[in-house]
Structure 1
Amino acid sequence: MTSTLEQLRAGQLAGTQRLTLACGLTEFPREIFDLAATLEILDLSGNALSSLPDDLPRLTHLHTIFCSNNQFTELPEVLGRCTQLTMVGFKANRIRKVSGASLPPKLRWLILTDNQVEALPPEIGNCTQLQKLMLAGNQLRTLPVELAACSRLELIRLAANRLAELPVWVASLPRLSWLAYAGNPFNERLEAKAMANTPVADIPWQALDLQHRLGEGASGVIHRAEHRPEYPATGDATQAVAVKLFKGAVTSDGLPHCEMAACIAAGSHPNLIPVIGQVKDHPTGVHCLVMELIDPQLRNLAGPPSLASCTRDIYDAGTRFFLPSALSVAHGIASAASHLHQQGIMHGDLYAHNILHGGQGYALMGDFGAASFYATDDQALAAALERIEVRAFGCLLEELIDRCDAQEAAQSSMAVLAGLKNSCLSEQAADRPLFDEIVNTLSALRDSHRHEPTSA
């Protein structure tokens, strides 16, 4: 809930733990220090700030600060003296400089998306608690080798930078599970090749009758539409479809046109949403993708991570699965992931919140916003990148197991499933199985429970 400057100055916000102010601020309101005894989360996004006060550490309970969409040109060094800060978000500023002094000692989550950062300081290797690093849409040409010391890193977003290569040590980070690097010079040839080798139907904009909005994400808005396949011929035959209109700006994951390329290049699979075609003549030049309309009963398997959970999804209280249903979801997603890697595509965001399911084991993998291409003929690189995604799948498997109701007779299957999960989560990347092996294991388990109920 957004508060007002008047409420703050009148003392009406005493005792608050979270403060959000978006009112054209050009200076940090000193009255915020009146909340020092309780304030934990400070959100000053959407203002015109370019600096923070030197005495910010007076906010001794502050663990999260957001200053996105402001006018900072460097990450304030005072942040490094805020000993309790774990999350720092400065998306969409004008930041070029990030000094080692600006990094808090307990930093877990750093968001610098959509800035002008040219280099990270070597001191980032001292951030041993770092789990999420959001750097899409900057001007990075290299990554400091010291970042390899951040052994708890699980998610890295590097898309839309100027990287000439992906450092080999990235794949050896023991907990790395979600990686995005599309839109960098070292990958542009592969992205162009993927689009050229994946023909898709061109659908005239006039053949679509856009209807109500179905949803909106960081990269675009999805509408229900009626498609007239015989356009421009006259006739009443129409097909219900979903149309995604891409926003065109860099997101926290990467560039929308890279997402569109991955969606098209992914091809056909029972656990992926089918692509019908793309629109090339939108009146304002917006990129549009036309997809099959999925069953409205399908819903997200979970919600995205919270500030507290950082990298792990949030499930509704009471979410439970029968073993056959959990096995079916796991098998479907592993099979889809295997298919993607055969095409040289890493999904990059294999999470429960990007999976749609119908309650009885049927699942669809969606949201290609973090997808990246790689050369499948470089077998060492291909296996290394696939094993990063396998660890993400291990996290999903762990969540399914934790919420699985299995009969006593199924304990041997649960033991096999737990062993598979442990292998996928191994911090020695070379010890993780590849998706083909995972699919085979899950196929055998699924077949052994095929005749059991999937729901109550």
Structure 2
Amino acid sequence: MTTTTATLAALRSGQLKGITRLDLACGLQEFPREIFELSDTLEVLNLSGNMLSELPDDLSRLSKLRVIFCSDNRFTQLPEVLSSCVHLEMVGFKANTIQEVVPAAISPGLRWLILTDNQISALPDSIGNCARLQKLMLAGNQLAELPEAMRGCVGLELLRISANRFKALPEWLLQLPRLTWLAFGGNPVSAVPHAPRPAVARFHWGDLVLGEKLGEGASGVIHKAHWQPSPQEAGHPVAVKLFKGAVTSDGFPAEEMAACLAAGNHSHLIGVIGELTGHPAGSTGLVMPWVEPGFRSLAGPPNLATCTRDIYDDGQRFSLPLVLDLAKGLAAVGEHLHARGISHGDFYAHNVLYRPEGGCYLGDFGAASFYPSQASGSTNPFEALEVRAFGCLLGELLERIEPDHEALLPSLKALQLRCVAPVAASRPRFAELVAAIDSLLH
């Protein structure tokens, strides 16, 4: 047996012996000591959605524990005992009331730390010892600065600090050699879009008929819909995104709405055709063009094992013409967004829709941020981060390219390596990428 969503009775009766993952949500106020009966095999422990406020001092008895989730509980402090679990790599304490992160709670072996939606005003210097840390989720707290010791987080790739109190971002942060996906919207540093918000149509809820759910992310749910403004008109298929209205792992939905609208139109962008009005529950939403069914997601999002890397179907392969088509389209989108001072923040294959015969769209602005206008000059550190994300995506495509395309591969690989260079200032701009890929197409 490898995984189970369990009842407390099943745990206490010994029925769960040998499992590697335990999900237990049943109003717990104390840590069930019976969990220690699983110490020889348990690797993932999910105690989210209970009423816990502390963990046992002997938690390290779970000698194989790699992942622990304690979100939606009542912790006011990140437990020190976590650092005693020598194999622990992923810690999730989202949506508690944590005010303090003591130095001893941070294990240097962490790869993924989730502290979203708490009340944290400072991080300890000990986080700088986490050289393996790849993913750090801090949205929805009270942080105004990061400890300079985080220069030591040389493996950090994804950072979410949206919905905090940052008036500026430290220069050293933007120079971390592997930092790739940064979200910082909903802070004073990300207050005003460069470009004025374009005028968009307003769609009344009563003119829309919602259909099947197409997808769901941290910030909202997307539905297929039929828009019919009057009985005399034939109506049109559209997509509607209904926002959940609370702080998410990426930030505020309002910031996402603003970024979607400010991004405007582009041939490789899932644009916006209007705002939703008149929802009976007061929900906010956006109406987007309907994307033809022939388009599909380029990849799936990362999982616990891959951490920051997308998941492709087994055996998935791409032709060279398709790779060049995708690369040029996505580089052009990057150029378009950064000309408007918008950092997408989640430039990933799982946010790309594509057709095997060509064509692609970038979507999902949940992690988007507006950056200071003075950063949009000849050396733009925010664009350099996004170029690295593009380089990671291109590298994934090149790993899965069909054989018999050896002639152009060295040039493409050299371009990809420039995009992921450790020194951010040495990476090409998106405009240069568009021109380079265009030259390969011709």
TM-score band, normalised by the shorter chain?
over 0.9
Aligned to 1:392: 389
Counterpart amino acid of residue 159 in structure 2: I
* 1:433 lines up with 2:428 in the alignment: yes
* 1:344 lines up with 2:344 in the alignment: no
Counterpart amino acid of residue 433 in structure 1: P
Aligned to 2:249: 252
Runs (4+) off by over 6 Å: none
How big is the shift at 1:58?
Answer: 0.9
How big is the shift at 1:403?
Answer: 0.1
Aligned to 1:131: 134
* 1:311 lines up with 2:314 in the alignment: no
Aligned to 1:210: 210
How big is the shift at 1:382?
Answer: 6.4
1:4-403 mapped onto 2 (5 Å cutoff)? 4-188=7-191, 190-191=192-193, 194=195, 196-228=196-228, 231=229, 234-379=231-376, 383-403=380-400
CA contact (8 A) 2:341 2:376 kept: no
- Give deviations 1:119-162, integer Å, cap 9, x for gaps: 11111111111110000111111111111211110000000011
CA contact (8 A) 1:338 1:436 kept: yes
- Distance (Å, rounded) in 2 between the aligned partners of 1:266 and 1:101: 43
Q: 1:381 to 1:104 in 2, by over 3 A?
A: farther
How big is the shift at 1:378?
Answer: 3.4
- Distance (Å, rounded) in 2 between the aligned partners of 1:84 and 1:96: 25
Counterpart amino acid of residue 212 in structure 1: E
How big is the shift at 1:234?
Answer: 4.9
How big is the shift at 1:200?
Answer: 1.4
SS state at 1:214 partner: strand
- Distance (Å, rounded) in 2 between the aligned partners of 1:215 and 1:421: 31
Counterpart amino acid of residue 165 in structure 1: A
- Distance (Å, rounded) in 1 between the aligned partners of 2:394 and 2:441: 14
SS state at 2:327 partner: helix
How big is the shift at 1:377?
Answer: 4.3
- Distance (Å, rounded) in 1 between the aligned partners of 2:376 and 2:386: 15
How big is the shift at 1:374?
Answer: 1.6
Gaps of 5+ in 2: none
Normalised to the residue count of structure 1, the TM-score between the two structures is 0.93
Normalised to the residue count of structure 2, the TM-score between the two structures is 0.96
CA contact (8 A) 1:74 1:98 kept: yes
How big is the shift at 1:278?
Answer: 0.4
Given the alignment, which residue of 416, 420, 426 partners 2:411? 416
- Distance (Å, rounded) in 2 between the aligned partners of 1:290 and 1:222: 10
Counterpart amino acid of residue 116 in structure 1: Q
- Give deviations 1:59-107, integer Å, cap 9, x for gaps: 1111110011111111001001111111000111111110110011201
- Distance (Å, rounded) in 2 between the aligned partners of 1:283 and 1:133: 37
- Give deviations 1:138-189, integer Å, cap 9, x for gaps: 111111111121111000000001112111111100000000000002222x
* RMSD (CA atoms): 1.5
How big is the shift at 1:251?
Answer: 1.0
How big is the shift at 1:362?
Answer: 1.3
